[in-house]
Amino acid sequence: MNYEHLDPYKKDILIVDDMPDNLRVLSSILTREGYNVRKALNWQMALTATQTVLPDLILLDIMMPEVDGYEICQTFKAWELTADIPVIFISALDDVFDKVKAFRVGGVDYITKPFEFQEVLVRVQNQLALRAARLEILKLNIELEHRVKQRTWELENALQKLHEEIISRQKLQSQILDIALHDSLTGLPNRVLFIRQLKNALNRAKQEPNFKFAVLFLDCDRFKVINDSLGHLVGDELLIAIGRRLQTCLLPIDTLARLGGDEFGILLENIADINIAIQVAERILQQLSLAFKLSRYEVFMNASIGISWGNKDYDRPEYLLRDADTAMYRAKAQGRAKYHVFDPAMHQEAIQLLELENDLRRAVERQEFLVYYQPIVSLTTGRISGFEALVRWQHPTRGLVSPIEFIPVAEETGLISAINTWVLQSACHQLSIWQHHPITPEPLSISVNLSARLFSQPNLLDQIDRIIHENKINPEHLQLEITESVIMENTNAIKIILEQLRQRQIKLVMDDFGTGYSSLSYLHSFPLNALKIDKSFVKRMQENEENMGLVPAMIGIANSMGMSAIAEGVETQEQLAQLRNLNCDFAQGYLFSKPIEEELVMKLLTTAPQW
């Protein structure tokens, strides 16, 4: 058969019937209706036709000689390719036709001979439409499946990308977190992380009665000296080295953190008792006492350590750190390179200190200060040569407060500069009044204590100039008392200021000499006019009568450096006699007079006392 004439857009119907008449009739009806019709007289031809082109519909005669319609239908239904093709059985009216069987073997409908044309057409059209619909559904299904597959693939892809994105974000986030929780210089945990760890430890202590811990607060002693003299790069290098050395004193489970500046925090967990923390502190101080070999310098740096015991009753981790900090300040006050264990009484003191600080701020605003004056006596003439101005605080409820109590607080808070400038102004003002009084011995001088803190104030010289100018005093009669810490802290910058003061003829006195750390070589390189021997040495003079302690040596030092010697805290006639014997130039102390109010100064001068 030649099928090339087959129109691919026309539906293709295969008629299988052994009766050529039937074939012809059916074929002509259907062809007229616009179908491609092919004919087969038996199973063999039907097979060939199907294999060549798959028909859209098969009209199948049941009664055929060799292979009957049931069998052919069954065979077609068994093949995958042909299983879907609808089969309509053809039967003669008088045939013994088993309809049930026809449907069971896969037939979809039947028509009977003689043919009712309209009926044949309707049945054929129905089946073709059904098949077309089925195929369409199939196609749609396949398409749908394909789309689902495609979408699934896309979704999976998107999911994978999302997953990768999440991971990379998590990484970034943990990096950011890491930066936020660590100190960039040393790489150690920072204050935030340290407080977190403290919080964990505190929570654990609240749950497990046997869990004990301690917090160490460590602050380097005089770190500023390194930064100021050797520069911040060296300071940074030193901080890294300190961090490393601290780590060597600790166990891997301990936490070491840099809390800021030159402060470190240590958390010791799971320790038996406070002695373990003390041992750690001692080990640290011992290790820190060894030199640090930096790239260009070898430096020494010790620290003060405060210890607080991790009590479960603490409400907040910050309080633990605060108490360790308070204890650290106590350690510093005891002299450097020490540790101190916090006890609750210290907290009370710290609160009082805070109150003092607040009161002091108000005192500066309300000008609650007074200046007392204590005479300084020349041991050559026995007469008053000048006065030292000593500040007092007239506290609204506490009465007169000693400078020993509030000057350190004023220094800590920066209030010292306002207070000290005011004292300088008041003292110079008084001096000018006294100097213009006829009974005043010539020349009377005034000594004013200058806090070390003032030297970091850029306009110190301007202020002194202004005060001298406004009060019209001779700068030669002004003496500024500085402590050894001034020349220890910041050598070069301080030297320049001191030299400037000296150029103005202002006298410079080293106060409390012998109590600080200054070396003789230091003293030599600063333009000082006098050494004021601290009262503790004057006191010991009597206890140690044969050699009179260190006082003779101190007077000797002053003389050899071309400076005067002033003895402080002279309380007895014997001390006075001894000092005279040693050729001490000046003396000051209760023996002559306690510090007195300004009104009493004139009275004292009027009596023109001589010792």
Contacts with ligand C2E by CB under 6 A lie at 374, 390-391, 402-404, 407, 420, 423, 449, 451, 481, 511-512, 535, 568-571, 588-590, 595
**Number of neighbours of residue 574 by Cβ within 10 angstroms:** 13
Amino acid identity at 352:
Q
Question: Per residue, what are the HEC states of 511-535?
Answer: EEECCCCCCHHHHHCCCCCEEEECH
Measured distance CA(11)–CA(87) in Å, rounded: 14
**What residue 374 binds from Mg ion, ligand C2E, none (CB within 5 to 8 A, per partner kind)?**
ligand C2E
- Tokens matching residue 247: 């780590």
**What residue 569 binds from ligand C2E, Mg ion, none (CB within 5 to 8 A, per partner kind)?**
ligand C2E
Closest to ligand C2E by CB, 217 vs 393, is 393
Closest to ligand C2E by CB, 440 vs 593, is 593
**What residue 590 binds from Mg ion, ligand C2E, none (CB within 5 to 8 A, per partner kind)?**
ligand C2E
Q: How far is the CB of 218 from ligand C2E (least distance, A)?
A: 29
Measured distance CA(273)–CA(15) in Å, rounded: 106
DSSP letter for 510, please. Answer: E
Closest to ligand C2E by CB, 127 vs 564, is 564
Q: How far is the CB of 317 from ligand C2E (least distance, A)?
A: 38
Q: How far is the CB of 281 from ligand C2E (least distance, A)?
A: 31
158-185 burial, b at 16+ Cβ within 10 Å, e below that, comes to eeeeeeeeeeeeeeeeeeeeeeeebbee
Residue nearest to ligand C2E (CB): 589
Measured distance CA(156)–CA(137) in Å, rounded: 27
Closest to ligand C2E by CB, 153 vs 590, is 590
Closest to Mg ion by CB, 269 vs 481, is 481
**What residue 186 binds from Mg ion, ligand C2E, none (CB within 5 to 8 A, per partner kind)?**
none
Amino acid identity at 57:
L
**Number of neighbours of residue 353 by Cβ within 10 angstroms:** 17
Interacting residues with Mg ion (CB under 5 A): 449, 481, 511-512, 568
Q: How far is the CB of 588 from ligand C2E (least distance, A)?
A: 6
Distance of CA 450 to the CA centre of its chain: 38
Residue 341, φ and ψ in degrees, nearest 5:
-95, 130
Residues 6+ apart with CB under 8 A from 548: 541, 578, 582
Q: How far is the CB of 568 from ligand C2E (least distance, A)?
A: 6
Contact 588, 376 (CB under 8 A): yes
**What residue 595 binds from Mg ion, ligand C2E, none (CB within 5 to 8 A, per partner kind)?**
ligand C2E
Closest to ligand C2E by CB, 419 vs 555, is 419
Q: How far is the CB of 511 from ligand C2E (least distance, A)?
A: 5
**Number of neighbours of residue 141 by Cβ within 10 angstroms:** 10
Closest to ligand C2E by CB, 45 vs 591, is 591
Q: How far is the CB of 389 from ligand C2E (least distance, A)?
A: 6
